[in-house]
Amino acid sequence: MRKKILVTGGAGFIGSHLCERLLNEGNEVICLDNYFTGSKKNIVHLMDNPYFEPIRHDVSQPFYIEVDEIYNLACPASPVHYQHDAIQTIKTSVMGAINMLGLAKRLNIKALQASTSEVYGDPFIHPQPESYWGNVNPIGIRSCYDEGKRCAEALFMDYHRQNKVKIKIIRIFNTYGPNMNPGDGRVVSNFIVQALKNEDITIFGDGKQTRSFQYVDDLIEGMTKMMATDDSFIGPVNIGNPNEFTMLELAAQIIDLTGSKSKIVYRPLPSDDPKQRQPDIHLAKEKLNWEPQIKLRGGLVKTIAYFEKII
């Protein structure tokens, strides 16, 4: 049956892949975005589809529509962008969650929240299971994002407990792939763009901090599987690739794959930058029968091909 699905942040990196997937499955998609970090370029290939409808709107403002499901992705995700207007970032997460939950409550439909591994902050427990409460600085430069997302999770849980709203929470770990904005500021896009232009590759700190990188197709599979679970499973559930790399290892792979002449340079580590990050995905394996399929090298090859085309 064709569903009418609202995707907030649908013109962004992840949102554009999600819109495409939902349309390919035969659904009608309403893509709400204010184009702060997203771009019409990411969705232009969907415009001819009569079942695709983009709407320019700020999710922190009330929004009325009739739909069957909501994926709430609207929020800048790169530190450079979410710190650019920190107050707007908090409003987007918190007011956006309230508006989408209000909609889900009125329509008695499911709402899925794109939460983040940032709720674990700079973690003391490694890898991070969903039961870990995290180590987050509430007053630092990353708090607008981390605490905004934590507050959104709290709101989702409270609307569920108090108003019986059907919710799903996924905690997404570092994701990369085509449609990332070349000026986005995140590490994978930065290193690839720098390597392709033979410019210096900027490692923040000593480069020994780790992240676990997930290719976007794996995330979309996990996200849609989560939405399809029955109403009793609400999460939160980690969606990420447990393969962990240092930033030095990432830079070396990208230099190798691009054949770049770039040199590595070191820049100061931004404050509160987490030292390590790796998802524990036992819950996703058990409840969603999901695990990532794409290894870093294979995902980087596809991502490099995308950036070669656009820069």
> What is the C-alpha separation between 33 and 184, in angstroms, rounded?
17
190 binds ligand UDP (CB under 6 A): yes
Instruction: Give the number of residues in contact with ligand NAD, rule: CB under 6 A.
Output: 27
Which pair of tokens denotes residue 41? 């370029």
Question: How many beta carbons lie within 10 A of that of residue 181, not counting itself?
Answer: 18
Of 112, 132, 257, 270, give the one whose Cα is nearest residue 202.
Answer: 270
247 binds, among ligand NAD, ligand UDP, none (CB under 5 to 8 A by kind): ligand UDP
Active-site residue 145, yes or no? yes
CB 94 within 8 A of CB 152: yes
11 binds ligand NAD (CB under 6 A): yes
123 binds ligand NAD (CB under 6 A): no
60 binds ligand NAD (CB under 6 A): yes
> What is the C-alpha separation between 167 and 161, in angstroms, rounded?
10
Of 155 and 201, CB closest to ligand UDP? 201
202 binds ligand UDP (CB under 6 A): yes
Catalytic site residue from 120, 145, 159, 176 = 145
> What is the C-alpha separation between 234 and 113, in angstroms, rounded?
10
189 binds, among ligand UDP, ligand NAD, none (CB under 5 to 8 A by kind): none
94 binds, among ligand NAD, ligand UDP, none (CB under 5 to 8 A by kind): none
How many angstroms separate the Cα of 266 from the Cα of each of 78, 199, 261?
Answer: 20, 13, 16
Residue 34 main-chain phi, psi, to 5 deg: -105, 5
Q: Residue 207 CB, nearest distance to ligand UDP (Å)?
A: 6
**Interaction site with ligand NAD (CB under 6 A):** 8-9, 11-15, 33-38, 58-60, 73-77, 92, 114, 116, 172, 174-175
Catalytic residues: 145
